[in-house]
Amino acid sequence: MTTPLHGQVAAVTGAASGIGRASAEAMLAAGARVVLVDRDAAALDALCVQRGDAAIPLVLDLLDPTACATLMPRILDATGRLDIFHANAGSHIGGDLVDADTTAIDRMLNLNINVVMKNVHDVLPHMIARRSGDILVTGALAAHYPTPWEPVYAASKWAIDCFVQTVRRQVFKHGLRVGAVSPGPVATGLLADWPAEKLAEARAAGSLVEPAEVAEVILFMLTRPRHMTIRDVVLMPTNFDL
Q: Which residues are catalytic?
A: 153
139: nearest Cα among 63, 233, 68, 212: 233
Angle at 67 between CA 31 and CA 24, to 5 degrees: 20
> Whole-angstrom Cα distance, residue 156 to residue 160?
6
The stretches of 15-150 forming alpha helices (DSSP H) are 18-29, 41-51, 65-68, 71-79, 102-109, 116-130
Do 82 and 133 form a contact (C-beta atoms < 8 A)? yes
Do 135 and 178 form a contact (C-beta atoms < 8 A)? yes
> Whole-angstrom Cα distance, residue 178 to residue 190?
24
Collapsing DSSP to helix, strand or coil, 132 comes out as: coil
